[in-house]
Structure 1
Amino acid sequence: MDRKFTEILAAKKSTISKRWLEMIIASYPNDNSGFLMNQKDRFSNPVGYTFSTGIDGILEVLAKGEDFAESVQFLNDIIRVRAVQDFTPAKAMAFIFQLKTIVREELEKEIRQNQIYGALLEFESKIDDLALTAFDIYVKCREQIYELRTDELKRMTFTLLKKANLMSEIPDQEFEP
């Protein structure tokens, strides 16, 4: 990635990070958004903490121009939170693409002055790659949730049948949900 672009991005990183966090928080109902944004304690607000540390880590890796394989854990943490919440897949993943808009708006003047449009396109391409990785993580998380729900339903059904004395002839170890 272009050195000048990387320097400009690093200089604006805290502003970009703050705006990105605000956009993520804005996707939640109003009654939760204030708490998620204002409470910084890791134990009082684990979701807000996960988001703020995650986006800082992702931006750090992207600003250095490194391969985002290092930021996968940060991304994984955020996606796990979004996967268990009541969002459509599109809404759960939208925050990644919002980073493009934020970067364009925050760096617009510097990009024009320095004629570094190619670096912006390269950066946006990395965001697209990040989105594809995030989608893979999201799908795996959702699959795990559905498997857990299915296993719980099997356990509940087995328990009900056993209580009704309808499963007496099948030993417990043969029927393991």
Structure 2
Amino acid sequence: MGLTDSIAARSEELAHKWADIVLGSYPEQTQAVWRKNHDRFTNPVGDAILRSTSELIPLLLAWNDAGAVAKALEQIVKIRAVQDFNPGQALSFIFLFKKLLRQEFMSELAAKGELEELLRFETRVDNLAVIAFDLYVAARDQIARMRVEEIKRAHVNIVRRANLMKADVAVHKAD
């Protein structure tokens, strides 16, 4: 059985392990809550992480639809873009998947002399990181634009209030 067949056969297990790795990047109290609660309404972040990892593994195996890969990555990347992570921390979960693959398959592949297969598959994971980086930058850019718009609205409201106060003062002076 080749690497892709082995990954496919264990995709659900690998998705859960990968999601567990992602959850490991959060504070312990948060991890505990998200690991216990699997409801998508009361734990949307934990659900999104598991859903993304579950969707990404078959897409990595097929590696024929960049749009579907981006869509599967989008929610988890957006979540991590708004959280208190620097870019490297936010996207490290992708490279940690390579570590997981090595832990799970390297010994077996090395014994069979098939490490090249792992290296070829890791190239897909590297390309996944490039897609994730583009999504992350777009999400951070959108957040920055939203902050600028919020500041503009606040400024307009301040000016409006100042003008109303001026008008109110002028009315009182005229009386």
Q: If the length of structure 2 is used for normalisation, what is the TM-score?
A: 0.88
3-state secondary structure, aligned to 1:164: helix
**Based on CA coordinates, which of the two structures has the bigger radius of gyration?**
2
Name the residue aligned to 2:133: 135
Contact 2:74–2:135 (8 Å) recurs in 1: yes
Higher helix share: 2
| Pick aligned residue for 2:80 from 66, 79, 82 | 82
Name the residue aligned to 2:70: 72
Which residue type is aligned with residue 100 of structure 1?
A: K
| Pick aligned residue for 1:63 from 46, 61, 64 | 61
Name the residue aligned to 1:145: 143
Unaligned 5+ segments in structure 1 are 169-177
Deviation at 1:17, TM superposition (A): 1.6
Give me the CA root mean square deviation.
Answer: 1.9
Q: If the length of structure 1 is used for normalisation, what is the TM-score?
A: 0.87
Deviation at 1:65, TM superposition (A): 4.7
Find the aligned partners of 2:58 and 2:165 in 1 and give their Cα distance: 57
3-state secondary structure, aligned to 2:38: coil
3-state secondary structure, aligned to 1:147: helix
State the identity as a percent.
34
Contact 1:8–1:110 (8 Å) recurs in 2: no
Deviation at 1:115, TM superposition (A): 2.3
Find the aligned partners of 1:89 and 1:150 in 2 and give their Cα distance: 21
The structure showing larger relative contact order (alpha-carbon pairs under 8 Å, at least 6 residues apart) is 1
Unaligned 5+ segments in structure 2 are 167-175
Size of the aligned set, in residue pairs, is 166
Q: Which residues of 2 match residues 1-177 of structure 1 at below 5 A?
A: 4-165=2-163
Contact 1:58–1:68 (8 Å) recurs in 2: no
